[in-house]
Structure 1
């Protein structure tokens, strides 16, 4: 998703700080701003958001948010209409402009409502940059007794420079027992250390290698990390099976995806395994590109990738662009998400022309990644899921700037070529035993994340199961969240939780449309 109502932004991908921030300098001149004494509120009566657009005084901004939310929010009729003048702070008021309802399984309908300074948003979405140490943490259990394990590290980062890698379990952060800490004050230290919000923070860690039990004590300084969106491009089975790790649908992923599919097409692979186990989502159009490069022209011709559906006030026209509603097609060309694309937009994409694909998943596989699964299934491409139940995020938005703040508010859901789009509890392999929720079951094998092997190692449990299933169509014994290695399923109990609630992280878990 990209910008909204008025001004398209450079491109984008990732949720809510309740920090009070001042307006920037891009708003209207003083002569254009409606005086606060001339602004009135009547419950249930809404003026056009354009009346308050880019008027950078607090009350005007809040009235813009109120009107804009009523116009575009997917569940606009579930927002409690409150007088903007009675809530202190623009972002505090924005936090109220969402549904508090839950899905049938009891989960919150909207976990993505948030904002970022526009400059920060543009930097994140264009470059894939975030603050941290360069390791991806998989939380097995968020409450005591906790377990968190490094799933992979980014190249040229503090973590990789210290030879930290997959399979290191967190034992201690800044002197606090990661596993057993029970007070909120201790967990605040854990969260601040594990998920820094700015460069320069120095944090001490104690890790234990789950394979050797070796203890590692290190200190790292948080810095701006540029994530590698695509990696581990390789083949197996004498070149017949292609594989790559796909970590995020952001602007900088387009070129390496193009290169990966070109390489695999040149190798004439007959099957493909896409490792999206840690891919939280991003651009929906990029998901359509990936699906096209898997299936090719003959398998997608005349079919849609996803039909976007807005709230019931907008059955015919897109409330963001003003254009007649048209489905997202299987995209067969390079779009140029980045500011200075390495390939000319409009260049034809390569394709493998496959009628099936294997996808490796966990509960970190979200949104645009799930759209790849749903879009391909809608086009009668067989999707074989190996791994764990996905997170269940069928919703999306257009990032929208007003007064140098970019807002993210759920604006649409979508359905595939067969009219299906209800996977709020995720997709799950057919032999999984997920009784708490109601995921959509599809062919494949329930396999726990295997931290004892590196990603891309054919002995790693998910990849090994995919290769085996390709040969004989059978699954190994179902596992969940690495239970046979002694790890408990992901839990959220009554003790204070370790969670990454940074806007940059949560925003990655939704579909983003680019105008």
Structure 2
């Protein structure tokens, strides 16, 4: 390419001479009758942006020649899968990619990434019963103002069936996450170490456009001479940045000198929100590197190291950040802590002591962005340009486009971040979230105060989930690249 102009704020724009690369020409065979507009958008967007573009043979720049014969071959390739979703999964994704996805309607996808989805408000984990294919669920928490908040169900409750059918590894997806808007949970008790069905039933109904405030709990404790702040934060949603700022300000006003971030059920979200939270916790020196971006090989070489760096910030919207200035942070994690949650830990590690308490995290260190059929805007979804999206193609893809490294260049945690203090949740003793004796919170408090007392942290029924409601949520394992910075290169 002779010239690339990048301006990364909400969008990236590139221009290139028409006679060069396949991705910049009208390459669909004009004489063909194949309906491949969506597949054409997917291929071109993935060829340019996909992190593993060099590892996918069918995405190679030289895969199709820019000739009449090449265009015919390209069209035939696009037409090899009638369903665009199957085309995306079978032809364009790298074999080790666990996280790229798509949606046939960009509005559904972008709403979901704003924390708006169809849900009954019950957040739960699923565990396989040892020695069988049966599965039981345990309630993690209830989203306020949801349908689940109106019925008699609470954290720690167990269920073994849906609509009278016993949950198994083969049917739980369809029963719990299918098209049925209403279902009945068949509840259970924990008796002598076993999950035993009872006669209780709970009817739940999904509601449209349920928005979850990710700041589930924010409070402070004075214990053993220490003033401790606690925030249970359940997803990095940039629509709630002001609320996050306010929560930290309230804790600062309370005089906290320690902070526990509870990210045990946080599957990820906005990179920029992660940067804001890190700045609120640590420092607002805009010369300090928060992360370094690594794109695919052909994009990476276009930039200097400095152009790929993202720095701590001193602003939230129009408000100036006055950081807590902590030298130590306590973070609660489970295997459900992913992506942006892991980014917060990894990006703060070079600067402060991050004490991780709980279980090994998910292991997701790549970031993604939303791509739509807006070819004059490098396929990037930009809210102000929705009228520029091809009206005949409403599909959106959310591919992994890069990997984030911390200031020390570390990003190798695909197997998850190991806790400093290992402590799994116990479905026989979940405790009440935000209460001082809830096991994970109590262990963090003990670490801060040094008061060991007689508390026994033995886990008799360790939770090893096979799935959860979060894994079917819009934010599952997502790290959305929405940082605001400028890159210019010619």
Determine if contact 1:125/1:251 at 8 Å carries over to the other structure. Answer: no
Specify every segment of 5 or more residues in structure 1 that has no aligned partner in the other structure, as ranges.
11-44, 102-107, 335-344, 430-442, 492-497
Matches within 5 A, 1:345-364: 345-364=317-336
Do 1:285 and 1:328's aligned partners in 2 also have CA atoms closer than 8 Å? no
Q: Following the alignment from structure 1 to structure 2, what is the Cα–Cα distance between the partners of residues 220 and 274?
A: 30
Shift in Å, 1:370? 0.5
- 2:424 and 2:462 in contact (8 A); partners too: no
Q: 2:357 aligns to what?
A: 386
Deviation of residue 252 (structure 1)? 2.7
* Cα distance in 2, alignment partners of residues 270 and 52 from structure 1: 60
Residue 231 of structure 1: CA displacement?
2.1
| Counterpart in the other structure of 1:444 | 421
Aligned to 1:273: 260
2:293 and 2:403 in contact (8 A); partners too: yes
Q: Quote the Cα distance in structure 1 between the aligned partners of 2:299 and 2:426.
A: 42
Question: Where does residue 64 of structure 2 map in the other structure?
Answer: none
Within the candidate set 466, 475, 480, 2:444 is matched to: 466
Measured after TM superposition, the shift of residue 477 of structure 1 is: 7.7
* Corresponding position of 1:170: 159
SS across alignment from 1:508: coil
Equivalent of 1:395, from 366, 375, 389?
A: 366
Counterpart for residue 146 of structure 1: 135
Query: Unmatched 5+ residue regions in structure 2?
Result: 1-5, 12-19, 60-76, 374-392, 485-490
Equivalent pairs counted in the alignment come to 419
Q: 1:471 to 1:52 in 2, by over 3 A?
A: farther
Structure-2-length-normalised TM-score = 0.77
RMSD, aligned α-carbons: 3.3
Change (3 A) 1:98 1:358: farther
Deviation, structure 1 residue 305: 0.8
2:80 to 86, 107, 110: 86
- Measure how far apart 1:192 and its partner are: 3.2
Residue 340 of structure 2 contacts residue 479 of structure 2 at CA under 8 Å; is this kept in 1?
A: yes
Contact 2:367 2:400 (C-alpha < 8 Å) held by counterparts: yes
Structure-2 residue corresponding to 1:418: 408
1:208 aligns with one of 180, 188, 192: 188
Give the aligned partner of residue 249 of structure 2. 262
User: Kindly tell me: are residues 219 and 447 of structure 1, through their superposed partners in 2, closer, same or farther at Cα, counting changes over 3 Å?
Assistant: closer
Cα deviation, 1:37-94, whole Å, max 9, x if unaligned, reads xxxxxxxx961257479x9x84233223222212211111222418212221222212
Instruction: Evaluate the alpha carbon distance shift between residue 267 and residue 149 of structure 1 in structure 2; reply closer, same or farther with a 3 A threshold.
Output: same
Q: 1:314 is matched with which residue?
A: 299
Write the distance in 2 (CA, Å) between the matches of 1:98 and 1:244: 40
Secondary structure of the residue that 1:121 maps to in structure 2?
A: helix
1:408 is matched with which residue? 398
Aligned residue in 1 for 2:149? 160
Q: 1:323 to 1:352 in 2, by over 3 A?
A: closer
- State whether structure 2 residue 108 is matched by structure 1 residue 120: yes
TM-score normalised to structure 1 length? 0.73
- Secondary structure at the counterpart of residue 393 of structure 1: coil
- 1:60 aligns with 37
Is the Cα contact below 8 Å between 1:284 and 1:511 reproduced in 2? yes
Q: Could you give the per-residue CA deviations for residues 6-32 of structure 1, whole angstroms, max 9, x where no partner exists? A: 99989xxxxxxxxxxxxxxxxxxxxxx
